Structure 1
Amino acid sequence: MDSGMLTTPGAELYYEARGSGPVLLTILGGGGDAAMAGPLAEALARRYTVITYDRRGTTRSPFTGPPAEQRVAEHADDALGLIDASGPEAAYVFGTHSGALIALDLLARHPARVRRLVAHEPPAFDLLPDAARWRRLAQEAVDLGRREGVGPAMRRFGEETGVAAPPEPDPGLPAWVRDMLARMAANMETSLLYELRSFSRFVPDPVALRGAPLVLASGAQSRGKLMHRCTLAVAEHLGVTAVELPGDHVGYLRSPAEFAAALHERLAGSP
């Protein structure tokens, strides 16, 4: 595995690269970082050069100025910078959770740089029939976070959405998992205070994405849950049919080998 830093406007990005073959950029959401995508990257490294990274404001990718409200477009520009730094060829992209929103914006604005995108469970709350409810919840969570701390705010948000905050690291877990969970908990401050409101209001561009090399997917175990509803709403908005990948919202981490095999099929163009 190789690692490095990429300077972008407003941040320094830490990234890791594994394997060989065409580039596959993974974009996680929430408090996830490169380590959370590591098991999936290892499972795909025989077929791809897999690039994982810490998004701006998380773990080893510090802001170079004061924290401020984040925009999906800024993060998509970061992703573009990583693809451009990898070479002249277009890249495959896998984005999950808010990383899927970032990837959709990347594909819409820079289609020549993306060979194919699999967008997994994008939380596009503004496309839901009850969008006003989720806007209120996002604001309530941010207000609660500033008033009482990130922990109570994430518990409140998780109760409504079914997406739980990172659990406390159990002493019985492997050291790398404990470390990852601790970092995720720390990263939730950026995710909650500076991303939640703006990201949850992001709506993908249906004109730019019409006919694009795009697969929208949700977890087979997410059926009927909020992230599944969001995925179906994005699919309807873009005029495509959503597919299923193994597991739930974090199936790529729970069963990386199974998820990697299914993801490769979608990246290769299987219906």
Structure 2
Amino acid sequence: MTAIHTLRVPGAHLHYEVRGAGPLLLLMGSPMEAAAFASLADALAGDHTVVTHDPRGISGSILDDPDEDTTVDRRADDVAAILDALGAESADVFGSSGGAVTGLALVTRHPDRVRTLVAHEPPVMEILPDAAEHRALIEDIIGTYRREGQGAAWAKFMTGAGFDAEDCEEAPAGPHGEPSAQDVANGDRFFGHDLRATAGYVPDVPALTAAPTRVVIGIGAASEGLVTYRTSVALAELLGVRPAEFPGDHAGFLEDPNGFAEALRKTLAG
């Protein structure tokens, strides 16, 4: 059974969901909402209390000011507020893509709140030697969105991320197939207010290494060739850790939630 909650935080009402029983585990993305993690959460709920949420401005997490540009630090503070609402001193955290970036900021800002962070393919392009090129691409994608709309922006985003060009020529307006009205609204939020901050985030490596948190960098077994493979390898090297392999590619938890859940259990067990 899944319990649904709403939490008031500065500037927003957050939607979050709790299922299962056992050690507390947070699953999060950005811009992916709680619903995207439902299958993975269900696969883990037999032995964990699993919490998922909609990032601010996405789906059920409503902003006071819809024109607000979201920062990664504010997303991290939102997660800390959820922990407060749960009465939890700390939790294990799995973050994927932009959610992995949120997790890195959470450890940096609230290091005592995270026992283990599994940061799965964080798109931290600023640590790459060709960061300026990626920065320019992000600005081009945002400009394309403003001039031509989501379809063209998603196509450019996906090819820039390293996915096959043939698969991106007819990119939908949302990342999960035929878009709903909510998909379109989330895409507007992503390109208009979230993407620049996420892609431009610079991990605080000294703070991450000094934190009591165990930080694990996850990489998909089929992700080689993606930009997030490069960022993950680079960040693991900066942190002096060995990357942990997970099934599938950047969205492996969607493709094989049961296999992914088992890999995550093993990783959390250390």
Paired residues of 2:24 and 2:48 also in contact (CA < 8 A): yes
Report the RMSD for the aligned CA atoms in angstroms.
1.6
**Alignment deviations for residues 21-44 of structure 1 (CA, whole Å, 9 cap, x no partner):** 1211111123x2111100000000
Residue 29 of structure 2 aligns with which residue?
Answer: 28
Instruction: Work out the CA distance in 1 between the residues paired with 2:228 and 2:130.
Output: 14
Counterpart of 2:42 in structure 1 is 42
Per the TM alignment, residue 189 of structure 1 is displaced from its structure 2 partner at its CA by 1.2
Aligned pair 1:189/2:198, yes or no? no
CA shift for structure 1 position 141: 1.0
Tell me, what secondary structure is at the counterpart of 1:58?
coil
Aligned partners of 1:232, 1:88: CA distance in 2, in Å?
A: 32
2:4 aligned counterpart, secondary structure: strand
Q: Does 1:232 align with 2:233?
A: yes
- SS of 2:36's equivalent in the other structure is coil
Cα gap change, 1:41/1:167 in structure 2, threshold over 3 Å: closer, same or farther?
closer
Question: 1:33, 1:55 within 8 Å by CA — same for their partners in 2?
Answer: yes
TM-score (normalised: structure 2): 0.91
SS in structure 1 of the partner of residue 7 of structure 2 = strand
Aligned partners of 1:166 and 1:185 also within 8 Å: no
CA separation in 2, counterparts of 1:184 and 1:266? 32
- Gap runs ≥5 in structure 2: 169-173
8 A Cα contact 1:83 1:90, kept in partner: yes
Q: State the one-letter code of the partner of 2:99.
A: G
Distance in 2, Cα, partners of 1:167 & 1:109? 32
Counterpart in the other structure of 1:162: 162
CA distance in 2, matches of 1:184, 1:116: 31
Cα pair distance change 1:52/1:158, threshold 3 Å: same
Q: Distance in 2 between matches of 1:85 and 1:93?
A: 16
Report the Cα distance in structure 2 between the residues aligned to 1:142 and 1:116, rounded to whole angstroms. 34
Whether 1:208 aligns to 2:207 is yes
Instruction: List alignment gaps of at least 5 residues for structure 1.
Output: 170-177
The aligned residue for residue 91 of structure 1 is 91
* Aligned partner letter, 1:22: P
Deviation per CA, 1:32-75: give whole Å up to 9, x if none: 21111000000000111100111111111111113222210000
Asked if the contact 1:119/1:214 (under 8 Å) is kept, the reply is yes
AA at the equivalent of 1:189? D
Superimposed CA distance per residue, residues 185-218 of structure 1 (whole angstroms, 9 cap, x where no aligned partner): 4311111111111211111111111153111011
Q: How far apart, CA to CA, are the structure 2 residues paired with 1:167 and 1:34?
A: 14
CA distances 1:223-245 after superposition (whole Å, capped 9, x unpaired): 23211101011112222221211
The aligned length equals: 258
Match of 2:19 in 1: 18
Structure 2 counterparts to residues 32-71 of structure 1, below 5 A: 32-71=32-71
Letter in 2 for 1:255: D
- Three-state SS of the structure 1 residue aligned to 2:15 is strand
Helix, strand or coil: the match of 1:138?
helix
Task: Tell me, in whole angstroms, the C-alpha distance in 2 between the residues paired with 1:107 and 1:167.
Answer: 30
Q: Conserved in 2, the CA contact under 8 Å of 1:15 and 1:54?
A: yes
What secondary structure is seen at the aligned counterpart in 1 of 2:265?
A: helix
Hey, what does 2:218 align to over in structure 1?
217
- In 1, are the aligned partners of 2:219 and 2:245 still within 8 Å (CA)? yes
Q: Post-superposition shift, 1:255?
A: 0.4
For residues 101 and 258 of structure 1, the distance between their equivalents in structure 2, rounded to whole angstroms, comes to 23
| Corresponding residue for residue 173 of structure 1 | none
CA–CA separation in structure 1 for the residues paired with 2:107 and 2:201: 14
Question: Using a 3 Å threshold, how does the CA distance of structure 1 residues 103 and 167 change in structure 2: closer, same or farther?
Answer: closer
Where 1:156 maps in the other structure, the secondary structure is helix
